[in-house]
Amino acid sequence: MKKEIIMIGMGSRPEGDELGMDLEAAEEADAEMIAAISPRGDFTSRGLDPLVKATNSLLPLFDQDPTYPKVGDTKVLPPDFVRILAMFKGAIDDAIEKEVILPEMKMSLDSIKDDTALITLAGKLQMLAKDKAFKSFLKEPVEEMEPEEEGEMEEEEMSDEEEESFLMERM
């Protein structure tokens, strides 16, 4: 009897498998999102090498291996590299919001168009890799948001005039 092993993310999925179809749809949506936020421009090793080096210095703070390979000259950053940058951006935004780091450390993927922007970002990432407050912030447990149940939305109080206007509009 022949057994088939199916590895998630490796291509084939059983036909008619609802979970497989959901996973495929999620992967496609993720790929589209990454493609939409991927920086585009003229990127050479002059800007890419320092950014990869800085990325590798920051990855251990996220419990990741610091082994991202060098990236060759390109017009669009590789999707897996953009995922890493997006992960950094999320953490940086949270740290800024909680006043752990200065707003000047804000990271914008939209502003990355050339090697100068890559080098600037690399400098910020290198600084964050050495920042004790940022390191401590990343070690803190993540506060999980509790999902709101349907129908439990906060009701806003309407004045009598607003309520009357609302009801008149509906008629």
Query: Whole-model pTM?
Result: 0.69
pLDDT of 21 higher than 60: yes
Structure confidence at residue 124 (pLDDT): 97
- Structural domain spans, the chain: 19-139
Average predicted confidence (pLDDT) for the chain: 83
Euclidean distance between CA atoms 121 and 102, whole angstroms: 15
The two tokens of residue 137 are 């912030």
Structure confidence at residue 151 (pLDDT): 47
pLDDT of 19 higher than 90: no
| pLDDT tens-digit readout, 30-61 | 888 888 889 999 999 999 999 999 999 999 99
Which residues face 42 on adjacent strands? 114
Instruction: Determine the average pLDDT of the residues in 139-158.
Output: 62
CB contact at 8 A, 25 and 96:
no
Euclidean distance between CA atoms 15 and 63, whole angstroms: 36
**Which of residues 145 and 5 earns the better pLDDT score?**
145
| pLDDT tens-digit readout, 64-106 | 999 999 999 999 999 999 999 999 999 999 999 999 999 999 9
Comparing CA positions, the residue from 26, 90, 17 lying closest to residue 9 is 26
